[in-house]
Amino acid sequence: MAFEGLAERLQATFDKMKSRGKVSESDVKEMMREVRLALLEADVNFKVVKKFVNAVKERAVGQEVMKSLTPGQQVIKVVNEELTALMGGEQSKIAQAQKPPTVVMMVGLQGAGKTTTTAKVANFLRKNNNRSPLMAAADIYRPAAIDQLHTLGKQLDMPVFSLGDKEKPVEIAKGAVAQAKEDHQDYVLIDTAGRLHVDEELMGELQDIKEAVNPDEILLVVDAMTGQDAVNVAESFNEQLGLTGVVLTKLDGDTRGGAALSVKSVTNTPIKFAGMGEKVDQLEPFHPERMASRILGM
Amino acid sequence: AQYRTVDEDFFEELEEILIGADVGVSTVMELIDELKDEVKLRNIKDSKDIAPVISEKLAEKLDKSGEDTKLNMQDNQMTVILFVGVNGVGKTTTIGKMAHSFKQEGKRVVMAAGDTFRAGAIEQLEIWGERVGVDVVKQQEGSDPAAVMYDAIQSARAKKADVLLCDTAGRLQNKVNLMKELEKVKRVISREIPNAPHEVLLVLDATTGQNAMTQAKTFGEATDVTGIVLTKLDGTAKGGIVLAIRNELNIPVKLVGLGEGMDDLQPFDADQFVYGLFKELVEAETGEDAEEEADNSSVR
Ligand SMILES: Nc1nc2c(ncn2[C@@H]2O[C@H](COP(=O)(O)OP(=O)(O)OP(=O)(O)O)[C@@H](O)[C@H]2O)c(=O)[nH]1
Ligand SMILES: Nc1nc2c(ncn2[C@@H]2O[C@H](COP(=O)(O)OP(=O)(O)OP(=O)(O)O)[C@@H](O)[C@H]2O)c(=O)[nH]1
Ligand SMILES: [K+]
Ligand SMILES: [Mg+2]
Ligand SMILES: [Mg+2]
């Protein structure tokens, strides 16, 4: 099919050159073309691909590959190492404030999975870190967004702070933090409305919330199926808000998820969680090396 | 004014722009090859002459007969439209928008709350119902979506509705059981009304990359998708993958979503869409030309 893994691609290329014995520079070039295609088909942004392929090529031409008896595998090794390094190497944990409550803001495009992820992170914090989170319903725009969070709160038996859809999101965020202090809740997770990164008014609203409650984490929630536009979105959210991390959702699907690399490379913030389903317990800490293999189709 | 020459650099830039618009590498390569042939054939030298050729080539891939972007509306019976797609693409919102537009045409509309799974999904459709003044048929959260559809058909018939819009829960195409459930939903509709659903619209989010092809293929196989609604084109994503989908699977785009409001739904316009894919390349040049002209005039 269209989405062959990189390993198979390189094997095919290598089979062609095997008869000739030694690996030449133009062979390396051809292998790099396959790397480029594989990454583009995995939805890695073309600018990110360009930089990446150049870095890999440098190492490849720098003898590692050319001297090797198994250049195909050697290329894969180099690609995998570079990719894993770029993805962040190690797993990264959610912040915890010196003085509770820790304030976490969820931001992102429409339909990315913010509200679901808010509930998932709350569940994760309670189950794994023994914390007591308060969720805040600061999406006053999307029809039934508040109902959605309340329903999730009921499923989890966890408190949800809401002031309805008439108060401004900034006031809701402030109210939630005050409430958490009063009730000795140690995390406040703020669910915000989906918005376009180019929507000045709504991006301004997020900046206002940030200013008002001084969050310890601002997590960009990104749909793993996102294509080339992921860099624009991530870059823009990062510039306007200063992200501290990323959550990649819908990884239970069959997308290669190249957006992960794009987002990581433009924001330079860690991907902290992976969404693995629609249910509140389907959230996992993000594993950079697994993601690297997935993007490569291995 | 000076135009850049159509050379390797030009094609390289076009290639990047189209890949950047999610058209997909193989479709882009195919296109560039065709364009290069065309350029040779017509002896095109500068870029002002190539823009219409690019448009033509791209539009050719999208708009095969011109007619099939229209919805298959029934004259003498209720039209049933089923909405399918992965999570969060805009199915429910599109139904709300479409209900509004049918209502404005004077049609009687009913919406079926077939997403019984996601938290707040039924309430979301109900709010759209209030917003646009359309009835919603629903059951409890967690009930069988096929049963909701059965109910909705009876109820819409009793209300002498012209159009029934059926919402379904978002699902990823690799979830076999959920795809089976969707097949059952469709089967129940067809059993009640033999030639229904008259449209099965796959909702695709324009920000989606190459996975949209797999979505189209799998949803297509499960439910015989008749058209695509491409949402969220009001952002910076271009939705170029629909070109490859049209090319490989021959599923036409029928509507586009351009925002979250009830009026933000439009019929698909292939020429406008195609121009949007590569306008960067053309408009950047016109910008340069304009500057150049301004420079010249200041000299004069
Ligand atoms: N399969 C799967 N579905 C998910 C995941 N995360 C979220 N979803 C689904 O994606 C859809 C959108 O999720 P929401 O949480 O409503 O997204 P949102 O970002 O809050 O959306 P807006 O508030 O409208 O911007 C829902 O159908 C969720 O069930 C995931 O990791 N896997
Ligand atoms: N900017 C923009 N947002 C849209 C558009 N269409 C839908 N949305 C938003 O996308 C988000 C998800 O829309 P829904 O209609 O809930 O999507 P869905 O496919 O029904 O989602 P699930 O039922 O959870 O699978 C909401 O925040 C909508 O307001 C559009 O054309 N442009
Ligand atoms: K999405
Ligand atoms: Mg939400
Ligand atoms: Mg829905």
**By three-state DSSP, how is residue A238 classified?**
helix
For residue B231, give the ligand nearest its CA.
2
User: B119 vs A254: CB contact, 8 Å cut-off?
Assistant: no
Distance, in Å, from the CA atom of B198 to the CA atom of A9, rounded to the nearest integer, reads 42
Q: Per residue in A39-54, pLDDT tens?
A: 999 999 999 999 999 9
Residues of chain A neighbouring B174 (CB-CB closer than 8 A): 252-254
Counting from 1 in the atom list of ligand 1, the atom nearest the Cα of B172 is 1
Distance, in Å, from the CA atom of B18 to the CA atom of A228, rounded to the nearest integer, reads 10
Cβ burial B271-296 (10 Å sphere, 16+ → b, else e): eebbbebbbbbbeebeeeeeeeeeee
- The position carrying tokens 């209030």 is B130
Question: Residue with the nearest Cα to atom 22 of ligand 2?
Answer: B88
Q: Is B91 on the interface with A (CB under 8 A)?
A: no
Distance, in Å, from the CA atom of A227 to the CA atom of A57, rounded to the nearest integer, reads 24
Cβ burial A100-128 (10 Å sphere, 16+ → b, else e): bbbbbbbbbbbbbbbbbbbbbbbbbbbee
Give pTM, 2 decimals: 0.95
- pLDDT the model gives residue A61: 78
Distance, in Å, from the CA atom of A167 to the CA atom of B23, rounded to the nearest integer, reads 42
Q: Which long-range contacts (CB under 8 A, 24 or more apart) does A198-203 make?
A: A198/A236, A198/B235, A198/B236, A203/A240, A203/A241
Cβ of A113 below 6 Å from ligand 1: yes
**By three-state DSSP, how is residue A259 classified?**
helix
Q: How near does any CA of chain A get to the CA of B75, in Å? A: 33
DSSP assignment of A186-228 equals: SEEEEEE----TT-HHHHHHHHHHHHHH--SEEEEEEETTB-T
Cβ of B88 below 6 Å from ligand 1: yes
The type of residue at A108 is G
Q: What percentage of chain A's residues is helix, strand, coil (to nearest 5)?
A: 50, 15, 35
CB contacts under 8 A, B 247-276 vs A, are: 260
Distance, in Å, from the CA atom of B92 to the CA atom of B111, rounded to the nearest integer, reads 10
- The position carrying tokens 């095997």 is A18
How large is the ipTM? 0.95
Residues of chain B neighbouring A151 (CB-CB closer than 8 A): 119-120, 141
Is residue B1's pLDDT more than 80? no
- Residues constituting chain B: 300
The type of residue at A202 is L
Q: Per residue in A91-122, pLDDT tens?
A: 889 999 999 999 999 999 999 999 999 999 99
Distance, in Å, from the CA atom of A172 to the CA atom of B127, rounded to the nearest integer, reads 22
- pLDDT the model gives residue A296: 86
- pLDDT the model gives residue A63: 66
Is residue B132's pLDDT more than 50? yes
Half-sphere exposure of residue A140: CA atoms within 13 angstroms, side-chain side: 17
Is residue B298's pLDDT more than 70? no
Contact B186, B200 (CB under 8 A): yes
Distance, in Å, from the CA atom of A161 to the CA atom of A153, rounded to the nearest integer, reads 10
Residues of chain B neighbouring A228 (CB-CB closer than 8 A): 19-22, 209, 237
**Rounded mean pLDDT of chain A?**
92
Distance, in Å, from the CA atom of A285 to the CA atom of A283, rounded to the nearest integer, reads 7
Residues of chain A neighbouring B232 (CB-CB closer than 8 A): 109-111
User: A144 vs B123: CB contact, 8 Å cut-off?
Assistant: yes
Cβ of B185 below 6 Å from ligand 2: no
Is residue B285's pLDDT more than 60? no
Distance, in Å, from the CA atom of B163 to the CA atom of A83, rounded to the nearest integer, reads 51
Cβ of B232 below 6 Å from ligand 2: yes
- pLDDT the model gives residue B44: 87
Is residue B290's pLDDT more than 60? no
Residue B7's nearest CA partner among B42, B50, B54 is: B50
Q: Per residue in A256-265, pLDDT tens?
A: 999 999 999 9
Contact A275, A226 (CB under 8 A): no
Query: From the list A37, A150, A226, which residue is nearest B207 (CB)?
Result: A226
Is residue A12's pLDDT more than 90? no
User: B16 vs A46: CB contact, 8 Å cut-off?
Assistant: yes
**By three-state DSSP, how is residue B144 classified?**
coil
